[in-house]
Structure 1
Amino acid sequence: MTDIDLNQILTFVKVVDSGSFTKAAEQLKQPKSRISRRLAALEKALGTQLIYRTTRQMQLTETGKDYYQRCAPLIQDLENANNAMTSHSVELSGVLRLTAPEDYAKMILAPLLEEFLKKHPKIKIELVLSGAYLDLVKESIDVAIRIGTLKDASMKSKRLSSISSIVVASPGFLEKNPAITKPEHLEQVPCLNFNVGQKNRWRLVKDKQDIRIKANGSVEANSPELLYHFALYGRGASLIPEFLCRDALQSGKLVHILKGWTSGAIPVHLLTPAQKDIPAKTKAFMEFASARL
């Protein structure tokens, strides 16, 4: 190992990754002649040829393939370590574009972003509030918060937590309608429906019980926050994310009915476009959000 310079291994990995000596020289900001000399010195120190080279193309030898598979992860780990140190020592700046469902952004994400901006005052936040699964690359979005089952396996993802919805209604509504002590009783009273995916069918789970309820009412919406307000008006019972109802439950404006029954755990993920090098500002936010959520 005393005859091998780490830069020689780095050069070899970059040549393989880029597919040519010229591109590797551009990435490393080195003359092409130095790239060739480093690779030759590495092969001499190892006592074996790693790459077949002709005037038109290059190809890994069997030994070269094995050496690359062993070295590439090590180089990536070193680069990640260096990037992490740089992100800690250099003040972060620039625009961070995020997308999240509107209700989640208002109740959960807003205070988190306020804390993040105090820590990194030179960061500018751009929020795209939408429950739709936007194309992160096309929309130039750095981080997405997605609630529910992930649909795109090509994205890098990290599970943050899970949320669940509970059945709530206003005290006035409960006084005017039959008592709701079993999930089946919901079919006999007006309900407020989230019209994305549910199709007026509510899934309720408790312990090992898992049932479907047909819920009918005068209001349907694709916004849980809007259904929350109609529940406050006494328009019907609704299955709403628990984080939206917390304050109203504490104040008595809403009542938690059918306690123990929920929609089941719904996962919350952070997503970023699949890329080899994640910008420092994006990485910093993901670490920050992961620690708190």
Structure 2
Amino acid sequence: MDLNLIQAFVDIVDAGNLAEAGRRRGVTRSQVSRQLRELEQQAGAQLMRRTTRRLELTEPGQALYQHGVRILQEVASAQAEIDSLGKTLRGHVRVSVPTGLGDAHIAPLLLQFAQKHPGITLRVLFANRVTDLIAAEIDVAFKVTSAPPLDHVAREICDIRWQLYASPAYLERIPPVREPGDLAGCEFLCQPYPPRQFALSLYRDGQRVDVAVTPKLQSEHFLFLARAVREGHGIGQLPVYIGWEEVRAGRLVPVLPDWRPEGLGNRLFIITTPNLHPSMATRALIEFMREELGKLEVFQDTAA
């Protein structure tokens, strides 16, 4: 089969329709349609069913798509390795990073990597809910979770610790918070939890205490939450990698520092799709990020 036609077919499946595939490939819709017909003739089978609303893969189409993705990855990896022999590393890596951690610590490292490897181009997506790397067209995803997906390759980087914080001004105007139960009377800021009211779990020396809280403000963007805490909107549950700089600057104060709240995810992973031969550009990015993240002071005592 023609490798160019296989690439066109993979692009059609990823795009979802002929028009979008044509836009991505820089050709017309009719040219993409013609390439699909040519590939079906070579394969001797119908690969997609055309309906008025969408394209649906047939069983042969699904099989060809899965093999096609792997074939194209192998070809790209081989070409990158050939190009890099005695030369600057080349390639393109699509990266997904969570917003708070990405803004605070991963983004500067990605820029360092880009400067170190000018032959490698990056496409960086800041998002918290990327689950299907193939559908999202992602090569490398940074994800904070307690349970990485079993159908992907997950490389553990470090533990993620959580802490409660408040501004000095907010603590001055509320009764002292000395025990977990004192949180029940405070405005609470945190990442989104499914129920409107939930039990916040705190741990100390093997002891667990649950406190019922009703959040005043919830957000997945921790820099926004940190700002709200800093401006005195309440006590916030934040990852330590966000709060520690604020504490150093005197803008925030740890609340119940001997207790650790349970957050949504306690480890940082680099996640990729299963691939025996990832491109050299992808391998270089993963190795660089694992090494550099481990050097960061905020992670050093928990780095894997």
| TM-score normalised by the chain length of structure 1 | 0.67
RMSD: 2.4
Query: What pairs up with 1:111-260 in 2 under 5 angstroms?
Result: 111-196=108-193, 200-260=198-258
Paired residues of 2:130 and 2:136 also in contact (CA < 8 A): no
Paired residues of 1:164 and 1:241 also in contact (CA < 8 A): yes
**Partners of 1:161 and 1:230 in 2: CA distance:** 27
Q: Alpha carbons of 1:128 and 1:235: their partners in 2 closer, same or farther (altered >3 Å)?
A: same
SS at match of 1:160: strand
Deviations along 1:57-113, whole A, 9 cap, x unmatched? xxxxxxxxxxxxxxxxxxxxxxx9xx9898674322232111111111111101211
User: 2:282 maps to what in 1?
Assistant: 282
Deviation at 1:127, TM superposition (A): 1.1
User: 2:102 maps to what in 1?
Assistant: 105
Q: Alpha carbons of 1:162 and 1:86: their partners in 2 closer, same or farther (altered >3 Å)?
A: farther
Q: Alpha carbons of 1:175 and 1:261: their partners in 2 closer, same or farther (altered >3 Å)?
A: same
Q: Alpha carbons of 1:85 and 1:267: their partners in 2 closer, same or farther (altered >3 Å)?
A: farther
- AA matched with 2:140: V
- AA matched with 1:90: K
SS at match of 1:277: coil
Paired residues of 1:161 and 1:268 also in contact (CA < 8 A): yes
Paired residues of 2:83 and 2:90 also in contact (CA < 8 A): no
Deviation at 1:122, TM superposition (A): 1.8
Aligned residues: percent identity?
23
**Partners of 1:263 and 1:87 in 2: CA distance:** 47
- The structure with the largest alpha-carbon Rg is 1
- AA matched with 2:107: A
- AA matched with 1:216: T
SS at match of 1:284: helix
Gaps of 5+ in 1: 1-79
**Partners of 2:247 and 2:87 in 1: CA distance:** 44
User: 1:291 maps to what in 2?
Assistant: 291
**Partners of 1:88 and 1:160 in 2: CA distance:** 29
**Partners of 2:194 and 2:223 in 1: CA distance:** 17
SS at match of 1:153: coil
Q: Alpha carbons of 1:197 and 1:243: their partners in 2 closer, same or farther (altered >3 Å)?
A: farther
- AA matched with 1:181: R
Deviation at 1:224, TM superposition (A): 2.3
**Partners of 2:145 and 2:117 in 1: CA distance:** 30
